[in-house]
Amino acid sequence: MRTLLRGVLAVGLLVPAMVASQEPQRDIYADPQNLQVLPKEISSRELSETMKGFALGLGVRCETCHMGVAGKPLTTFDFASDANPMKQKARVMIKMLDDINENYVGSLDDDSSEDHHLEVRCVTCHRGQAHPELIEDVMEEQLAHGGVDAAVSKYAELRERYYGSHTFDFSEMTLPMYAQGLAQQGNTEAALALLDINAGHFPESYYTRFLLGEVHAIAGNREQSLASFEKAIELNPRAAGFLQQRIETVKKKLPE
């Protein structure tokens, strides 16, 4: 448990008091009741920072796990109650995290000093969202239930909301690698749509243009394939020899 507290404290001390309201007449973290995972001797300050670490790591508020109404004073919350099923799930996750750090991650760390150690925290996986997902997971769900248009729309929505944060990876290679897998599965329509999005965000991306050439070839789009390979050569002249071979192959397989 010491490992867990150190992890969340490191996060919590860096953020403003985003959970507790200014209520000097009562310390809601003092004398906590019904602690089953956190140490019963935990101080008010440690508990406060631990809760803030959870809130920041998962992008949630107190009412997610505790009995209370959003927007109401925290003094009205019943923190001891187990009526909210999310509280039990949180306990399981805390135990899992502590087990990972104490019994697995610790054995990978060659430096046992306090200044340098490996540690998994809530934010490591959740990255500010209650249900940890990668952008690929979201795209997969959108394609399955709403098709290509839904996936394209969702990506734009997520990028608008989360770009610049650590919640989703919007870097150059994320969509191309996912699109490559889609093409291998035969879903060239979705692969091309996502690669077009990436080309718009990263116009200098050689790999995106190369994959566009490959996927267009798979889809039988001769002219688009050749144009994409030519653009890839322009962006990366060192690959001209290889790409020229791909161009000749496409011309033979997909004649005018």
Which of 7-11, 76-80, 152-156, 181-185 shows the lowest mean pLDDT across its residues? 7-11
Q: Where are the beta strands (DSSP E) in 7-136?
A: none
| Higher per-residue confidence, 8 vs 67 | 67
3-class DSSP state of 128: coil
* Confidence class for position 108, pLDDT limits 50, 70, 90: confident
CA distance 83 to 48: 21
* Domain spanning 2-126, CATH class: mainly alpha
Token pair 């050569």 in the structure block, residue: 233
Name every residue whose Cβ is closer than 8 Å to that of residue 229 and which is 6 or more positions away in sequence.
209, 210, 213, 243, 246, 247, 250
pLDDT of residue 116: 63
**Domain map (residue ranges) of the chain:** 2-126, 135-253
Distance, in Å, from the CA atom of 235 to the CA atom of 225, rounded to the nearest integer, reads 15
**The listed CATH number (1.20.1080.10, 3.30.1950.10, 1.20.1300.10, 1.25.40.10) that belongs to domain 135-253:** 1.25.40.10
pTM (two decimals):
0.80
